[in-house]
């Protein structure tokens, strides 16, 4: 029998004595309690997996499998289930062992009806509180969303405020922040709140463009401009005419492309490769990067005049480590989203799993959190995500404290050690490691110092773009 409502308390009773099961079902019979029973331990475990109960009553002595074994298997499956052991022969040693293994209580047969009722009433009350907390958390998520970004920390509220102020007026904006902080979502928000919201929004990932084709990609070309140019082709800027261009990873542009981009920003004109004709465009340009552009300017790897032109308005997206107070909110948001996506009844994360996630340093930021929880929602067999559902590299990391200076002196070294741990946890699969870290494969190769990047190019991201940059 399955609960007809989320507000009903689901109980499974496992006992080889049918009369005792009938007694329990009669005692607990009320409108908001649904009782399922099994006389065989293995059938009972299957019933637990099917019904996902809040409370399981298990007889200690049964043929084939004793109550202690059943207890262990239930808690391995879902540590959030309350398990009460029942026995006709009470012993202090057995009671202590049961509690140490995770039992919620240890009752002697014949069961004290009043005590059992108290246990059930307390669980019903806790269930109502849980449902109310879920309602409040859902309201908080709704109130904390801004253009697909989620957060109510002071740092994110400041980002939302700046986007609202800048969007109606900007011609160029520079978005900065670590990989995975949500720069692309911020760019979409700027476009949607701008006067050209009905116009096109075109994204160009500068790090994914082959250098020899960069100018053709950005500015277009005419037929015969180079080998393979069999027809005229418009570039990114013409495609975005009347709308917005997002230049993602703008620091990856070559010096020639930087010079031509500066002309676009100054004159709103483009020139297709192989054509002498200047063409007018009306575009807004959003540049995004995780690089330190001022340092690149000093090293003469990025044009100073272009940097000043791009950074007239600058918005910095904080890393997840700088807004840890948003972590529970983001966890709830992603669990709800992936539960719906995978059509599963996952409703939250256990306290011990939350504690482990809170200790992680999140170098891949929100995108890494998204990938971790997406994987956990897919893998879990219970209603809550537990430690065992998290990726191995998260479980193995007991502390996010910085390594000693004498062993790891730079941020690059810390980043490389973390990437190697993740890579090891997935058996050397660099594609999977990049997904878990929330970075592109090219970025992972750079972190590892591996120059053997496939085809020398950057493949497009494979993970969801929700809460990514």
- Read off the CATH number of the domain in which 364 is found: 1.10.8.60
Is 62 inside a domain boundary?
Answer: yes
Q: Please give the torsion angle defined by the CA atoms of residues 315, 318, 323 and 327, in that order, rounded to the nearest 10 degrees.
A: 110
Q: Please classify residue 338 by burial: count the beta carbons closer than 10 Å to its beta carbon, then call 0-12 exposed, 13-18 middle and 19+ buried.
A: buried
Is 255 inside a domain boundary?
Answer: yes
- 98: tokens are 């049961």
Q: What is the pLDDT along the chain (469 residues), one digit of tens a residue?
A: 333 446 688 899 999 999 999 988 988 888 788 999 999 999 999 999 888 888 899 999 899 899 999 999 998 877 778 899 988 877 788 888 888 888 888 888 888 888 888 878 887 887 788 778 778 888 888 888 998 899 999 999 999 999 999 999 999 999 999 999 999 999 999 999 999 999 999 999 998 887 767 788 888 888 877 777 778 888 899 999 999 999 999 999 988 889 989 989 999 998 888 888 889 999 999 999 999 999 999 999 999 999 999 999 999 999 999 999 999 999 999 999 999 999 998 888 888 889 899 999 999 999 999 999 999 999 888 788 988 899 999 988 644 444 444 444 455 666 777 788 778 776 677 877 777 777 777 777 778 876 544 443 334 333 333 444 4
Is 13 inside a domain boundary?
Answer: yes
Is 161 inside a domain boundary?
Answer: yes
163/303 same-domain check? yes
Q: pLDDT at position 397, please?
A: 63
Is 469 inside a domain boundary?
Answer: no
Q: pLDDT at position 19, please?
A: 92
103/189 same-domain check? no
134/162 same-domain check? no
Q: pLDDT at position 131, please?
A: 76
Instruction: With beta carbons less than 8 A apart as the criterion, state whether 416 and 385 touch.
Output: no
Parallel/antiparallel/unpaired status of strands 348-349 and 384-385: parallel
Is 232 inside a domain boundary?
Answer: yes
What strands, in cross-sheet order, belong to the sheet with 314-316? 201-205, 244-248, 284-289, 172-176, 314-316
- Read off the CATH number of the domain in which 297 is found: 3.40.50.300
407/267 same-domain check? no
- Residue at a domain's end among 107, 140, 173: 140
203/333 same-domain check? no
pTM, two decimals, is: 0.68
304/174 same-domain check? yes
167/295 same-domain check? yes
Is 465 inside a domain boundary?
Answer: no
Instruction: With beta carbons less than 8 A apart as the criterion, state whether 38 and 1 touch.
Output: no
Is 464 inside a domain boundary?
Answer: no
C-alpha span between 235 and 233 (Å, rounded) = 7
126/213 same-domain check? no
110/177 same-domain check? no
Q: Scan for tokens 């859902």, then name that residue.
A: 138
- Read off the CATH number of the domain in which 125 is found: 3.40.50.2300
Instruction: With beta carbons less than 8 A apart as the criterion, state whether 246 and 288 touch.
Output: yes
- CB within 8 Å of 92: residues ≥ 6 apart: none
- Residue at a domain's end among 266, 299, 316: 316
Q: pLDDT at position 407, please?
A: 46
Q: pLDDT at position 411, please?
A: 57
Q: pLDDT at position 265, please?
A: 93
2 has which bridge partners? none
335/248 same-domain check? no
- Residue at a domain's end among 113, 140, 167: 140
Peptide bond into 468 cis (omega under 30): no
C-alpha span between 139 and 144 (Å, rounded) = 8
Domain span at 408 = 322-456
Q: pLDDT at position 231, please?
A: 84
Q: pLDDT at position 116, please?
A: 82
Q: What are the CA-CA distances from residue 222 to residues 71, 229, 230, 256, 271 (Å)?
A: 72, 7, 8, 19, 10
What is the total count of domains within the chain? 3
C-alpha span between 237 and 264 (Å, rounded) = 9
- CB within 8 Å of 349: residues ≥ 6 apart: 331, 335, 357, 384, 385, 386
C-alpha span between 429 and 155 (Å, rounded) = 35
> How many CB atoms sit inside 10 A of residue 138's CB?
13
435/329 same-domain check? yes
31/121 same-domain check? yes
Q: pLDDT at position 301, please?
A: 94
């Amino acid at each position: 029998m399955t609960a007809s409502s989320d507000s009903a308390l689901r109980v499974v009773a496992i006992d080889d004595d049918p009369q005792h099961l009938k007694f329990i079902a009669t005692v607990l019979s009320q409108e908001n309690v649904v009782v399922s029973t099994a006389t065989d331990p293995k059938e009972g475990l299957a019933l637990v997996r099917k019904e996902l109960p809040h409370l399981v009553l298990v007889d200690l002595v049964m043929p084939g499998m004793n109550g202690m074994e059943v207890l262990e298997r239930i808690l391995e499956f879902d540590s959030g289930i309350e398990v009460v052991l029942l026995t006709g022969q009470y012993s202090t040693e057995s009671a202590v062992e049961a509690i140490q293994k995770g039992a919620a209580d240890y009752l002697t047969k014949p069961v004290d009806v009043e005590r059992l009722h108290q246990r059930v009433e307390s669980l019903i009350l806790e269930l109502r509180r849980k449902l109310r907390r879920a309602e409040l958390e859902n309201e908080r998520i709704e109130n904390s969303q801004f253009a697909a970004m989620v957060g109510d920390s002071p740092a994110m509220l400041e980002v939302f405020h700046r986007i609202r102020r800048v969007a109606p007026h900007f011609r160029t904006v520079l978005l900065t922040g670590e990989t995975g902080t949500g720069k692309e979502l911020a760019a979409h928000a700027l476009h949607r709140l701008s006067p050209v919201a009905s116009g096109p929004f075109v994204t160009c990932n500068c790090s994914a463009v082959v250098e020899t084709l960069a100018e053709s990609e950005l500015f277009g070309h005419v037929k015969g401009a180079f080998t393979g140019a069999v027809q005229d082709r418009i570039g990114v800027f013409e495609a975005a005419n009347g709308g917005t261009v997002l230049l993602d990873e703008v620091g990856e542009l070559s010096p020639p492309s930087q010079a031509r981009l500066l002309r676009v920003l100054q004159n709103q004109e483009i020139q297709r490769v192989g054509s002498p004709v200047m063409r007018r465009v009306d575009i807004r340009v959003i540049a995004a990067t995780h690089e330190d552009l001022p340092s690149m300017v000093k090293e003469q790897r990025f044009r100073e005049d272009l940097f000043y032109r791009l950074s007239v308005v600058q918005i910095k997206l904080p890393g997840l480590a700088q807004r840890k107070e948003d972590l529970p909110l983001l966890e709830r948001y992603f669990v709800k989203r992936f539960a719906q996506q995978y059509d599963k009844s996952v409703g939250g994360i256990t306290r011990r799993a939350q504690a482990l996630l809170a200790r992680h340093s999140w170098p891949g930021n929100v995108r890494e959190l998204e990938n971790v929880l997406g994987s956990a929602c897919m893998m879990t067999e219970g209603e809550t995500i537990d430690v065992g559902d998290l990726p191995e590299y998260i479980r193995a990391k007991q502390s996010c404290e910085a390594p000693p200076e004498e062993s790891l002196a730079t941020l690059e070294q810390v980043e490389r050690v973390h990437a190697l741990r993740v890579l090891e946890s997935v058996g050397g699969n660099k594609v999977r490691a990049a997904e878990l870290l929330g970075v592109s494969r090219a970025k992972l190769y750079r972190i590892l110092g591996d120059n053997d990047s496939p085809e020398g190019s950057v493949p497009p991201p494979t993970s969801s773009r929700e809460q990514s940059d």
